[in-house]
Amino acid sequence: MQLVQRTFSRCECNGIVTMKAQISNPADCEVRGVIWFLQAENVRPSEIQRRLVAVYGEHVMNVASVRKWCTLFRNGRTDVHDAERSGRPSVITDALKQKMNRIIRENRHFTISEVYEQCLEVSRTVVYEIVTEHLQYRKIARRPSSTRRK
C-alpha cells in the first residue's frame, strides 16, 4: 500500500475559490488511466499534460509521453500497465547461487577471486553481485594482524 501525500493550494478562477489537491508519487498506471479517460473525452494532449501537472506535480510526465499514450489509446490500446519487456536473460540461477553458497561455506575466509576461480562460467562482477546481493554475505572480521598488509 502506497501512502499518498496531498498538499492543498487555493485557486481563484473567475471569482470562484476552489481547492486543488496535489498528489505526489502517483503510480504510472494511475497517470495513464487519467490520460486514457481525458483522451476519450477528446481533450488535447497539451491540455492533458497541463492538468496532470496541476494535480501530480511538475515531474509527472512530459508532453511527448502524453502524446504517445494518447496515440496508443486512440489506436485501441486498453491496458494501462507496462508490457513485459524482453531483455537479456539473467545468468544468475538458483543452481549457481547454491553452488557459490556451497563454495563459501567450505571456506569462510573466502575472497571474490577465489569464488570466481571455481565458477568460471560467469564474470567476476556477477560473482560479486551474487555474493553480496543475493546471498547477502559481507565482510565481518578483519584480516588477522600477522597477515595484515603494511
Q: How does pLDDT run across 74-96, given as a tens digit for each residue?
A: 999 999 987 777 778 788 889 99
Which residues make Cβ contacts (< 8 Å) with residue 37, sequence separation at least 6? none
Which residues make Cβ contacts (< 8 Å) with residue 44, sequence separation at least 6? none
Q: Rounded to an integer, what distance in angstroms lies between the CA atom of residue 138 and that of residue 104?
A: 12
pLDDT given at position 41: 95
**Which has more confidence, 28 or 12?**
28
Q: Rounded to an integer, what distance in angstroms lies between the CA atom of residue 140 and that of residue 27?
A: 39
Is the pLDDT confidence value at 3 over 60? no
Give how far Cα 146 sits from Cα of 9, 15, 108, 109, 143, Å: 66, 81, 18, 15, 8
Determine the average pLDDT of the residues in 5-28: 61
Task: Output the pTM of the full model.
Answer: 0.48
Helix, strand, or coil here: 147?
Answer: helix
Q: What is the pLDDT of residues 119-141, one digit of tens each?
A: 888 999 999 999 988 888 887 55
Q: Rounded to an integer, what distance in angstroms lies between the CA atom of residue 122 and that of residue 103?
A: 15
The answer to whether 120 and 114 have CB atoms below 8 angstroms apart is: no
Residue-range domain boundaries for the chain: 6-74, 94-140
Is the pLDDT confidence value at 51 over 60? yes
Helices within the chain (DSSP H only): 28-40, 45-56, 63-74, 94-106, 112-118, 124-129
